[in-house]
Structure 1
Amino acid sequence: MSKRIVCLRHGQTLWNVEQRFQGHTDIALDETGLAQAARAASLLASLRPTLIVSSDLSRANETGLALGRLVGLDVAVDKDLRERGGGEWEGLTRDEIAARWPEEYVAWEAPGGEPVADVAARVSAAMRRWASSLDDGGLLVVASHGAALRLGICAMLGLPEELWSSIGGLGNCSWSVLEEGRRGWRLVEHNAGTLPEPINSDDSPGTD
């Protein structure tokens, strides 16, 4: 059986609601986020995860802990799974950013922020590192952040940077599933809020 990675975005925070750039700022889950984490945990528990690891930021760690408590697993913490650093944008709303840095806003490159290539490299390296400790058929749950996971997934798939925007974002407490094939990792679910189901089609799994 193949190894799998469930890439789980954290639950909602007040700054999510206010559309503030969170980055490395440590913002806790709000009441809705805690409920989202509990719901996601109740679904993902049935997949019988082997290992759970989270970002060191509390919003992701709290999300991972909700699952860990349910399945009786400790949650390891890895700072390489934290969100993209937002430099001078952290704590500001999208409107404030657009008004003060119009060109940088269009490019989504924060002054003093972390380059997307650096985020993709560190997150994918962390995911590969943790996945390497799985037995065949093992399931790793990575509780992290929207940009960090999207960029990490792109790097895991070996996509060139110019195609990274073709992978959409993740909603709060939604997840994506990577599966290890003979030619590397592939994306089998993306931005899901329900459990993965087997896919039967003419696209044979033997073509990977």
Structure 2
Amino acid sequence: MNSEERTTIILARHGECRGNTDGLFRGRMDFPLNERGRRQAEELAGAVTPLHPSTIYSSPLLRAAETAEACGRRCSLPVLIDEGVNNISLGPWEGRPKTEIARESPPEWDLWLKDPEQLDIQGGETLQQVLLRSMESLNSLVKRHKGATILLVTHRTVIKPLLAGCLAIPSPWFWKTHTDTAAYSILHFDDLHGYSLYALNRTDHLSSFTTEWI
């Protein structure tokens, strides 16, 4: 197969923000990068530049857009905003400490830990809804940029659904993959095989990063 027929997708998570260090459910809360997050964004930019992305897309939230802009400066590319890869909406959970949710809403917290695909927070989105909208965006980008390398900067609760959708991971899938702040994964797409995973949660470019297991 001609390599020009293969599309490469770099899925990058945003750098660290206060919501990460304070243990908050972030959702659509618009946290900017903190100092370490800005450093992580520059380190990510150094890692993805040699992969020669031809286009950069980002979630509209500041922590993702600022990370994407660091990559854009290094690659001399503009950053295009894609609403389809915005973070999950968590309704009344947004901005609240995870410890508080665990204490005040034990049944919902238990679902988050064991089967988050079944969690349906009033006023928010389900992970299945995120999977459907983010896959629609990704498929559209792959069709639009066939044979190119796309850098997509987004969030943990978008990257995990995308990996599940692209690789047909059965539910419950959320805790079966992992992504750290400013880490990146690589997918390939071609018409014969569909999506395939080439790299997962690369962190070797980072001097420090934030790991979240819940």
Question: Partner residue of 1:130?
Answer: 141
1:114 aligned onto 2:104: no
Check whether the contact 2:12–2:185 (CA below 8 A) recurs between aligned residues.
yes
Q: Specify the SS of the correspondent of 1:83.
A: coil
Superposition CA RMSD, Å: 1.4
Check whether the contact 1:52–1:142 (CA below 8 A) recurs between aligned residues.
yes
Check whether the contact 1:147–1:169 (CA below 8 A) recurs between aligned residues.
no
Question: Partner residue of 1:83?
Answer: 87
Question: Partner residue of 2:115?
Answer: none
Check whether the contact 1:51–1:140 (CA below 8 A) recurs between aligned residues.
yes
- Larger deviation, residues 164-173 vs 184-193: 164-173
Question: Partner residue of 1:193?
Answer: 203
Residues in 1 aligned to 2:94 and 2:143: alpha-carbon distance in whole angstroms: 33
Identity over the aligned pairs, expressed in percent?
28
Residues in 2 aligned to 1:149 and 1:32: alpha-carbon distance in whole angstroms: 21
TM-score, normalization: structure 2? 0.86
Residues in 2 aligned to 1:189 and 1:68: alpha-carbon distance in whole angstroms: 21
1:166 Cα offset (Å): 5.4
Q: Any gaps of 5 or more consecutive residues in structure 1?
A: 196-208
Letter in 2 for 1:180: F
Question: Among residues 172, 184, 190, which one is paired with 1:175 in the alignment?
Answer: 184
Aligned length: 193
Question: Partner residue of 2:14?
Answer: 10
> Structure 1, residues 132-177: CA drift from partner, whole Å, max 9, x if none?
12242x11010000111111121122233x1413532210000111
1:159 aligned onto 2:169: yes
Q: Specify the SS of the correspondent of 2:169.
A: coil
Residues in 1 aligned to 2:18 and 2:175: alpha-carbon distance in whole angstroms: 28
Question: Partner residue of 1:67?
Answer: 71
Question: Partner residue of 2:208?
Answer: none
Check whether the contact 1:86–1:112 (CA below 8 A) recurs between aligned residues.
yes
Q: Specify the SS of the correspondent of 1:24.
A: coil
TM-score, normalization: structure 1? 0.88
Letter in 1 for 2:202: A
